[in-house]
Copies of this chain bind each other. A is one copy, B any other.
C-alpha cells in the first residue's frame, strides 16, 4: 500500500499515515474484518520507521477504526455509532477521540489546549537546567511528599490565592487523576456514597464507579451545585464526600459564587462530609474568584490541582493539599503503590515556577483564552445558540443550538470534520443531552464557525438535512 507520505509537509508523519489508511478504508469500501498490511510491510513499502506505523495503528484502534486480530496484525473494525471508542472502554474514550484526529479533524470538544498554544522553548530550557545542575534529580527516588523545592513553590502559589496551608500539608502526585485515585482509595470504600456534579467530568465518574462507590448527582447551576437538591441528597443518603470543580467547571465553564460557597461549607460542617475541590483550570482565571479552600473550612476541604492543562501533560505533575492526618495516609499509599513520583519532572516544574516563566506563561494564556471566549460568545449569540452561562475564565463553554436537534448536529459536524463532545459524555449514566462542550481555543476555526452557523435558527431542518445528505 502506497500511502503517499510527504516528508516536507507540516503534518506529522504518524498523522499522515492515519489519514491515508482512513481514506483507503473509506474509498476502497473494504468490509469490517479485512486485514491491514503488516506493520513491517507498510513500513518497508513507504520507507517509514516501524514505530511510526505502530503509533498510527494504535491510534486508529483507540478510535475504533481498526481492531486487533486474534494473532498478530490488525483488521478494519466494525463501524460504531458516532466517534465512540470500542477497544478500551470508559476512561480512554476522551483520549481515543481527541488525542489524535484522523484527517486533521478540528478538536472543538477537546479537554486541553492545541499543541500550537504550548511554549516549548521555556520548558526545554528548564529541562536542560535540571539536567545540568541536579544530578540527584536524574537518578534518585523522590521523598514521600514530593520534592521540597517544588512544594515550596507550590506553597507560595497557594498563599497567593489565599489558601492557608503549610509545607507538610502539600503532596505531589502524577497529575490530578492520580491525586483523585489516592483520595478515593484512602477516604472511601465500596458501597459508600458521594455527591458529584452533573454535568461533570466523565473520568471522575468512572474512577468512583470502579471503586464501587455510589454516585449521587447534584445539578450544576450557574453559581455551583444546586443547594436545595444537595440538601435533599444529604438528608436521604449521608454521603461521605462532595466532588466539585469550583472554577471554570468542566464542562459548563461556570464558577462558584460566594453565597453557594459559604452554604456548602456550612453544610459540610453540619452534615459531616468532606469536599474534594479540583482546580485544574484554576490558573486560567481573569477575574476574581471563589475557592472553597480559600475560605475558613476547618480541614473539611481537600484541594487538588495539576500542571497538565497549562504547562505539560507529558510530565505528569499534580498536587494536593489536605490536613496533616490525611496527608500522612495519602503519602503512605502513594509510596506503597508507586514508590513516589518523578523527582526529575518535579525539579523541572519547580524551575519554571521559581524563575517566573510559569507566571508569565499563564498570563499570556489567560489573555489569549479571554479573547477567544469573547469572540465565541459573540458568534454563538449571533447564531442564536443557547449558552448555559458566560464563563469568567477557562477554556470551556456549554451551549446548545437554538433550533436543530443534536442528532443532526453530530452528522453535520462529522461532515465538516469537527469532533464534538456531546452532553452524554458528562453524565454518570450517559443520559442523552442537547448540550455540547465547546473549547474556545479551537472555536475560531472556519469549520467551527460553519457548524455554529449551520445550526442557527435561520437554517431550517430541511436545509441541514440536505446539507448532510440524510
What residue in chain B is nearest A55 (Cβ atoms)? B148
Whether the Cβ atoms of A332 and B137 lie closer than 8 Å is no
- In Å, the complex CA distance between A447 and B142 comes to 27
A50 surroundings in chain B (CB, below 8 A) = 152
A127 with B124, Cβ < 8 A, contacts A89-B332, A314-B342 known: no
**Min C-beta distance of A100 to chain B, whole Å:** 9
Whether the Cβ atoms of B55 and A143 lie closer than 8 Å is yes
Within 113-166 of A, Cβ neighbours of B (below 8 Å) are at: 115, 118, 120, 123-124, 127-128, 131-132, 135-145, 148-149, 151-152, 166
- In Å, the complex CA distance between A293 and B142 comes to 31
Whether the Cβ atoms of A51 and B312 lie closer than 8 Å is no
What residue in chain B is nearest A99 (Cβ atoms)? B141
Whether the Cβ atoms of A315 and B331 lie closer than 8 Å is no
Number of copies: 2
A139: contacting residue among B68, B151, B314, CB under 8 A: B314
- In Å, the complex CA distance between A137 and B137 comes to 19
Verify if A384 is at the interface (C-beta below 8 Å from B).
Answer: no
- Comparing A28-36, A171-179, A362-370, the segment that makes contact with chain B is A171-179
Verify if A54 is at the interface (C-beta below 8 Å from B).
Answer: yes
A342 surroundings in chain B (CB, below 8 A) = 174, 314-316, 342, 345
Q: Total interface residues on A, using CB and 8 Å?
A: 77
Whether the Cβ atoms of A337 and B51 lie closer than 8 Å is no
Whether the Cβ atoms of A338 and B175 lie closer than 8 Å is yes
A128: contacting residue among B131, B135, B137, B313, CB under 8 A: B131
A51: contacting residue among B68, B92, B152, CB under 8 A: B152
**Min C-beta distance of A118 to chain B, whole Å:** 5
A138 with B123, Cβ < 8 A, contacts A206-B336, A338-B178 known: yes
Verify if A87 is at the interface (C-beta below 8 Å from B).
Answer: yes
- In Å, the complex CA distance between A342 and B348 comes to 13
Q: What 1/0 flags go to A44-72 for Cβ under 8 Å of B?
A: 00000011001100110010000010001
Whether the Cβ atoms of A177 and B339 lie closer than 8 Å is yes
A332: contacting residue among B58, B92, B128, B332, CB under 8 A: B92
A316 with B341, Cβ < 8 A, contacts A50-B152, A99-B143 known: yes
Verify if A333 is at the interface (C-beta below 8 Å from B).
Answer: yes
Q: What 1/0 flags go to A84-116 for Cβ under 8 Å of B?
A: 000111111001000100000000000000010
What residue in chain B is nearest A118 (Cβ atoms)? B139
Whether the Cβ atoms of A313 and B175 lie closer than 8 Å is no
A131: contacting residue among B124, B145, B316, CB under 8 A: B124
**Min C-beta distance of A35 to chain B, whole Å:** 15
Q: What 1/0 flags go to A295-337 for Cβ under 8 Å of B?
A: 0000000000000100011111000000010001001110111
A138: contacting residue among B124, B140, B181, B339, CB under 8 A: B124
**Min C-beta distance of A239 to chain B, whole Å:** 21
Whether the Cβ atoms of A337 and B181 lie closer than 8 Å is yes
A39 surroundings in chain B (CB, below 8 A) = 167
Whether the Cβ atoms of B336 and A203 lie closer than 8 Å is yes
What are 13 residue pairs bridging A and B, where the CB atoms are less than 8 Å apart in the complex? A54-B167, A59-B143, A68-B324, A88-B331, A92-B331, A92-B332, A92-B335, A115-B135, A124-B131, A139-B314, A141-B313, A177-B337, A315-B342
